[in-house]
Structure 1
Amino acid sequence: MLVATALAQEAGQAMLDAKALCAQEGKGKDGGGVSYKGRHDLVTETDRSNEALIQRGLHETFPEDHFLGEEASADRGGAPSELSNNVLTWVVDPIDGTTNFVHGFPVTCVSIGLAKGDEVVVGVVFNPFTQELYQAIKGGGSFLNGKRLQVSETTVMEQAMVMAEYSSLREEVSLRKMLDTTGAIAGAARAVRQTGCGAMDLCFLARGSVDAVFGGVAGVWKPWDWAAGVLIATEAGAAMSAGDGGHFRLMGDTMLGAATAELASSLREVLKDI
């Protein structure tokens, strides 16, 4: 936990430094080494340097552990279908919410999780722009800047604020599914929101700021999008499953987290025909 926290904070400082340098040099939103993994899927020099920094720091302390990072996985063509149950794997998003980071929208973070197979045992999420540090160890609770977190007590959709996290896909079928999902949730819940930062969404669930999170509406959510956040939410009392109600899989395609089992069931009912 201490090593992951120190690395997350160091990577977070690099995010602040990069934004300050862009402002000083008068660079616009596409300044500072932004490139594209897809038409709407950005990556920056800071993503890559942060991932290298975190991987190097973890390897120095835990040389036997495996490492799964977003940028290296993208270069290799994607993540593996499963993680080994026989070895610990660090699952890292060096900047979750890269598009937010590029635009200066302060819902973005460094996310570091430690997993054994589908079981996440350590989670650290750090938002350098708000100085919010979320930490969790399996069985030990979850904390924001040292204060213990607890999900809300919301049980009914009519009182729930729901995060429906989408993807960078823009094909017609994906867009239609996103819109249909938004419409279904908006018709049943108090409010539906989308931030573009899955790890932070799960931290908002853990602190009780939102009541449910649904990810993987149109696919392409990956383990680094939710590894640390899932543990932080679960340790705060959230009910976690796959989107269809089955067992949550770290390497799966969907995730549904809710403050209570009753709310989770209601949200799955709303989404079942989409």
Structure 2
Amino acid sequence: MADSLPIPLTSPLSSAQKTSLINLVRRAAKAEILPRFRNLGSGDVATKSGRHDLVTEADTAAEAMLARGIQSMFPHALVVGEEAATADPELRNKIGDAELAFILDPVDGTWNFAHGLGIFGVILSVTRFGKPVFGMLYDPLADDWISAEEDGQAEFTRAIGTTRLLTVSDGGELGDLSGFTHYNYLPQEAKPSVARALPDLGRSTSLQCSCHEYRVIARGGADFLLSGTLNPWDHAAGILICQRAGGVARMLNGDDYTATVSEGYILAASNEATWEKLRDHFAFLLDDAKA
């Protein structure tokens, strides 16, 4: 069992605390997520903001188990799960004031999960006053994860115990870049301009799962991610992991990312030169925001 005292702000999570969190995520996936994969009944799936915004029994049950476990280990911490924040939007506003916050996406890629597609994951991030200091991107099907702390390199770990350090791609010219653009979730007024900009890139797609998109970037398989949907449970862990794998991830306007930001665009890229090329290519989004 991890230490139940608050974590000093001058220290990262201890090795024992990280192990406890990782094991909790793995247990929650085994107990609440995997048994429901491709085994959901019609009453096990509901909609939230619209017909494409889904929540399943796996989401709610896994989040409840994770929240209980984290609160037991860290009783003074703020726990913000996606489903809890949907029910109580004010919960999200507490992140910036919290000395220690755990932000959860119990099933990232719920649409994929609900339709039997194996591209889903669990995202856990730890923040201090909104700044990510630990992130984990977990794949329940493979039982492996990518994690990073604010002062270490991103690591890929398999359940069998092997770990290797990760490095992002070398980036390149716009026409050679591949990455992820959350086009369907952009503001309606931005879509025509973004659609005209996408053909200048080598490849732009979406996995409908931020967990796996950031995993691909951290492993060097893609060069960028652009998103205008700023839910902290989607991005806080991935941005830290991208940075600790050698990449650049900040707001499109150049501001540093924190889990408190709710408007604007996130741009992650493999290096500074590539980030700047993409920033210039999508700079019209900043003008649109000012209009």
| Match runs of 1:33-72 below 5 Å | 33-39=44-50, 40-72=52-84
Give 2:282's match in structure 1, choosing from 266, 271, 274: 271
Aligned partner of 2:190: which letter? K
8 Å Cα contact 2:98/2:130 also seen in 1: no
- 2: CA distance between counterparts of 1:176 and 1:168? 11
One-letter amino acid matched to 2:45 = V
1:231-270 superposed matches below 5 A: 231-252=240-261, 253=263, 254-270=265-281
2:131 maps to 1:113? no
Is the CA contact 2:80–2:92 (under 8 Å) kept in the aligned structure 1?
no
Identity percentage of aligned residues: 25
What is the number of residues matched between the two proteins? 259
> How many angstroms apart in 2 are the aligned matches of 1:245 and 1:84?
20
- TM-score, scaled to structure 2: 0.83
> Residue 180 of structure 1 aligns with which residue?
193
Equivalent in the alignment of 2:237: 228
Cα–Cα, structure 1 residues 84 and 233, in superposed 2: closer, same or farther, change >3 Å?
same
Deviation (angstroms), 1:251 = 2.1
State the Cα deviation string for residues 122-159 of structure 1 (Å, max 9, x = none): 11111112333111122121111221110011132122
Is 2:210 the counterpart of 1:198?
A: yes
Q: TM-score, normalised by structure 1?
A: 0.88
What secondary structure is seen at the aligned counterpart in 2 of 1:237? Answer: coil
- 8 Å CA contact 1:11–1:110 kept in 2: the answer is no
CA displacement at 1:79 relative to structure 2: 4.9
* AA aligned opposite 2:56: T
Of 78-87 and 191-200, the range deviating more from structure 2: 78-87
* Distance in 2 of aligned mates of 1:231 and 1:249: 10
Q: Distance in 1 between matches of 2:258 and 2:74?
A: 25
8 Å Cα contact 1:114/1:123 also seen in 2: yes
Structure 2 gaps, min length 5 = 1-17, 158-162, 286-291
Match of 2:169 among 141, 145, 152: 152
State the Cα distance separating 1:272 from its structure 2 match.
Answer: 1.2
CA gap 1:263/1:120 in 2 versus in 1, 3 angstroms: same
- Name the structure, 1 or 2, with higher relative contact order (CA <8 Å, separation 6+): 1
User: For 1:17, which of 35, 40, 48 is the aligned residue?
Assistant: 35
Partner of 2:14: none
For the residues of structure 2 that align with 1:168 and 1:181, how far apart are their CA atoms? 12
Task: Name the SS for the 1:180 alignment partner.
Answer: helix
Q: Which SS does the other structure have where 2:48 is aligned?
A: strand
Report if the CA contact (8 A) 1:67-1:90 is conserved: yes
Secondary structure of the 1:38 match is: coil
Residue in 1 that maps onto 2:145:
133
Deviations along 1:185-217, one digit per CA (max 9) or x if unpaired, are x2221110111112321121111111001111x
Q: Say whether residues 1:90 and 2:102 are aligned partners.
A: yes
CA–CA separation in structure 2 for the residues paired with 1:86 and 1:93:
18
SS at match of 2:284: coil
Q: Aligned partners of 1:66, 1:18: CA distance in 2, in Å?
A: 28
